[in-house]
């Protein structure tokens, strides 16, 4: 698609694009990936520790400990987001903080805090899911389609 677009441009524009591409700061992909790996891994280790905590002190099994663990991680992310620490870690870690559920929490919570000045209904209420909404939408819709296909396949196709 990008190539097609380029063909329609004049020579000058093409030159400019080449020029812009040259000047574009190269993203240090490897370095970013290593950072994402360690920070993301660390968040998951913390999550594992939390779920062991729930299993050890409460009647949660490996299966059921997932939900309270996720809630706890979102709670931690609220505190870190509120004090502005999460954003600082995010600058360093990139996807390492965005991909775990804490990143989802951060997106919701920071939007809520940011729009607080516009009031609770119009500000917080309607802006909370500005960033996270697409995740919920596509997740839910994809899940619906997949589950529908599978259910139909199992019920009438004799699959599974």
Partner 1 sequence: MMGMFFWAFVVGGIICVIGQIMMDVFKLTPAHTLSILVVAGAVLDGFGLYEPLIDFAGAGATIPITSFGNALVHGALQEGEQHGIIGVLTGMFEVTSAGISAAIVFGFIGALLFRPKG
Partner 2 sequence: MMKKVTLLLVCSLFIVGCAREPEVKDQSLQGKNMIRLNTDGTAHSATMDQSAAQQAVNDIKQKQAIRDAVAVNTKNKLFLAYQVKHMERFHKKQIEKEVQKQLKERFPQHQVVISSDLKLFWKTNELKKQLQKTRMGERKLNEEIEKLKKLSEETA
CB atoms within 10 A of CB 66: 14
CB atoms within 10 A of CB 115: 18
Of 9 and 137, which has the nearer Cβ to partner 1?
Answer: 137
Of 78 and 111, which has the nearer Cβ to partner 2?
Answer: 78
**How near is the Cβ of 42 to partner 2 at its closest, in Å?**
20
Element (H, E) at 18: helix 11-23
Residue 32 in the binding site for partner 2 (CB under 8 A): no
Residue 61 in the binding site for partner 1 (CB under 8 A): no
Residues 6+ apart with CB under 8 A from 69: 47, 50, 51, 54
**How near is the Cβ of 64 to partner 2 at its closest, in Å?**
5
Mark the segment that binds partner 2 (CB under 8 A) among 51-59, 85-93, 102-110, 133-141.
51-59
CA angle, residues 25, 31, 32, in degrees to nearest 5: 75
Write out the residues near partner 2 by the rule CB under 8 A: 55-67, 79, 82
């Amino acid at each position: 698609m990008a190539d097609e677009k380029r063909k329609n441009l004049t020579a000058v524009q093409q030159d400019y694009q080449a020029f812009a591409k040259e000047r574009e700061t190269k993203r240090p992909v490897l370095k970013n990936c290593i950072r994402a790996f360690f920070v993301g891994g660390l968040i998951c280790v913390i999550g594992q520790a939390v779920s062991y905590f729930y299993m050890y002190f409460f009647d949660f099994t490996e299966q059921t400990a997932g939900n309270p663990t996720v809630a706890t991680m979102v709670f931690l992310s609220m505190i870190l987001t509120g004090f502005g620490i999460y954003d600082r870690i995010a600058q360093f870690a990139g996807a390492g903080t965005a991909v775990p559920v804490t990143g989802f929490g951060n997106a919701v919570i920071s939007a809520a805090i940011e729009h607080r000045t516009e009031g609770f209904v119009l500000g917080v209420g309607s802006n909370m899911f500005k960033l996270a909404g697409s995740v919920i939408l596509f997740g839910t819709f994809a899940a619906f389609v997949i589950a529908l296909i599978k259910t139909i396949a199992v019920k009438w196709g004799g699959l599974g």
